[in-house]
Amino acid sequence: MKANTLLKATSSLIAAILLPVSGAQAQTYLVDFGGAGLSTQPSYGAVPTISPDTNGNYWNNSQGGPGGQPSNVNNLVSALNLTSTISLTWTNWGGGVATATMGVTNVPGASELASSPLNIATATGDSVFRSTAGTNRFFLDGLTPGGLYNISIFASRTATNARSTLFTVAGLSTITNVVQTSGTDLSGAGLNYSTTPWDILDFAADTNGQIAVDYTISTGGFAYINAMSLEVVPEPSTLGLLGLAAAGTFMHVLRRRRR
């Protein structure tokens, strides 16, 4: 067998081993906040994200109404439409649903949102907001205790006055960030809203398998959350075993070639 033929055969075999396992490990979950649906909240006009979206991804919708509790979501489905044991549960809320005309209406190609799976009009165009003192809070439960996750939070609202939301994310550690959601020409001329998600990498769930997300008003009288993604980070031990398997496969093919 020629060297290049051997390399191609080995590469194909390694890919066949790695891709199914890595795909199963690195699941992504997408959540649209604020999609109440025209039939239940016609005056607000917030709509859920229909699955699959234009990118072929599946979504979870946390719906709500004016002053009412946003809906909890059990057994989140992944972007590949695989059911999980992860749940999203609200414990504090205050405000309601911002309509589809209050969020993002145009996404510049150079913006961070443009390349994000969160860039779906029904997800970015509405939100669950808070307009009173206090904190909105939800928990992600059913996670791997101490497991690592990549989280992307998108918060935006079209308005010429500067508005900012203070987020606190708690697991094994706690991280805070102030996200400006609106302001004159914030994302370019005439784009008075944010097009920048807040990305948190390698964030560990607590020992109970939970991550808590709090958000409250920082400036401007309102706090918002429009959409979120949660991605499972493969464990280093799993990647190490995959690497050993790939190396073993390569050596086996080499030995056969030398016989």
Integer Cα distance of 57 and 44 in angstroms: 26
pLDDT of residue 244: 47
pLDDT at 201 over 90: yes
pLDDT at 194 over 90: yes
pLDDT band at 258; cut points 50, 70, 90 = low
pLDDT of residue 102: 83
pLDDT tens figures, 11-44: 454 444 444 444 433 599 999 998 654 444 444 5
Q: For the CA atoms of the chain, what is the radius of gyration?
A: 21
pLDDT band at 69; cut points 50, 70, 90 = confident
pLDDT tens figures, 131-181: 999 999 999 999 999 999 999 999 999 999 999 999 999 999 999 999 999
Considering the entire predicted model, what is its pTM? 0.82
pLDDT band at 52; cut points 50, 70, 90 = very high
pLDDT of residue 88: 98
Q: Where are the domains of the chain?
A: 1-26+243-259, 27-233
Integer Cα distance of 56 and 119 in angstroms: 13
According to CATH, the superfamily of the domain at 27-233 is Galactose-binding lectin (2.60.120.430)
pLDDT band at 95; cut points 50, 70, 90 = confident
Within 10 A of 185 (CB to CB), how many other CB atoms are there?
Answer: 10
pLDDT of residue 16: 45
Quick one: DSSP state of residue 49? P
3-state DSSP call for residue 211? strand
Which position has the token pair 């439409």? 81
pLDDT tens figures, 204-241: 999 999 999 999 999 999 999 999 999 999 987 544 44
Percent of the chain with pLDDT over 90: 64
Q: Mind giving me the DSSP string for 144-199?
A: PTT-EEEEEEE-----SS-EEEEEEEESSSEEEEEEEEE-TTTTSTT--B----EE
